[in-house]
Amino acid sequence: MLQGYEYVRVGQQSALVRGESAETVLHALLENTDTSPDNRAGRGTTLRFPLADGGAGIIREYRRGGLLYHVNANAYLSNRPLRELRVADYLWNKGFRIPEPLGICWWRRAGLFYGRYAARALAAVHLQEYLETNTDVSPETCTQVGEIIREMHKLGVFHADLQVRNILLAQETPYLIDFDNARRFASLSSRKRARNLFRLRRSFEKNGIDLRWYEMILAGYGDVPRHPVLSFVYSAKSRLSGQGSRK
């Protein structure tokens, strides 16, 4: 399925794992071996587990947000873990800054897919926390965020949820996370690039974060695509959802 990954099937569960810690990752994904809750990351079930090299891994279970959570919390029509891993593995092999992908697992029930995604944990804070708690925010850090978004777009990847909590800063070096439902294209249109940037702006507005930092991100991005209709749509979404609500 993916070069460098080992495919394993145990009962009704399938998994793809890679690297020296493949066996550890497999047991953590399928059996919760040595896992413990990690309440800092993401929505739904997020677990942390130790790796043999002294590092740690993070497991994220696929769960919906918003109103759909109450209807169908974690079942999907398509294999979301495999779709995400394909994008993440592509970016990782291009040297793009994301947490190292370690593996996935999935299973089917009543025709629907369920799954988990594992990656190496980073000692990092998300962008929202950095901007809200740091009294000495570095403008250079914000411009570097813009640069990494531009790099992602040059690689043809559209991030389905580019927002302040999906940008991590490890010693002020930016990484992007959560490529669930992301898509890869031969080249990314200006409309798709604008959608990502407007989505990021909306997360700034929803969380009440000073937009001057967003403007510095745009300065780092450079050559910002202009789409007045999209701008109006995202501004309307922000007003309807209410600024200051927490994402």
pLDDT band at 240 (very low <50, low <70, confident <90, very high): low
Of the candidates 29, 70, 74, 72, the residue with the CA atom closest to the CA atom of residue 48: 29
Summarised one tens digit per residue, pLDDT across range 39-78 is: 765 545 799 999 999 999 999 998 755 444 434 556 666 8
Summarised one tens digit per residue, pLDDT across range 160-181 is: 999 999 999 999 999 999 999 9
Summarised one tens digit per residue, pLDDT across range 189-206 is: 999 999 999 999 999 999
Question: Helix H segments across the chain?
Answer: 22-31, 68-71, 80-93, 127-133, 139-154, 190-206, 211-221, 228-241
Domain 125-241 bears CATH identifier 3.40.50.300? no
**Torsion angle of C-alpha atoms 35, 36, 41, 45, degrees rounded to 10:** 80
pLDDT of residue 136: 92
Contact between residue 65 and residue 165 where contact means Cβ atoms under 8 Å apart: no
Of the candidates 158, 176, 160, the residue with the CA atom closest to the CA atom of residue 99: 176
Distance CA 31, CA 211 (A): 44
**If you average pLDDT over every residue of the chain, what do you get?**
89
Q: Is 213 left (phi over 0), alpha (psi -120 to 50) or beta?
A: alpha
pLDDT band at 108 (very low <50, low <70, confident <90, very high): confident
Q: Max Cα separation, the chain? A: 52
Q: Do domains 6-120 and 125-241 have the same CATH topology?
A: no
pLDDT band at 187 (very low <50, low <70, confident <90, very high): very high
CATH for 6-120 is 3.30.200
Of the candidates 61, 57, 63, the residue with the CA atom closest to the CA atom of residue 23: 57
Contact between residue 113 and residue 78 where contact means Cβ atoms under 8 Å apart: yes
pLDDT of residue 246: 46
> pLDDT at residue 245 above 60?
no
Q: What pTM was estimated for this model as a whole?
A: 0.89
Summarised one tens digit per residue, pLDDT across range 8-23 is: 999 999 999 998 999 9
For the beta carbon of residue 40, count every other beta carbon within 10 angstroms. Answer: 11
236 or 31, higher pLDDT: 31
What is the CA 174 to chain-centroid distance, rounded? 13
Domain ranges of the chain: 6-120, 125-241
Of the candidates 210, 216, 215, the residue with the CA atom closest to the CA atom of residue 244: 210
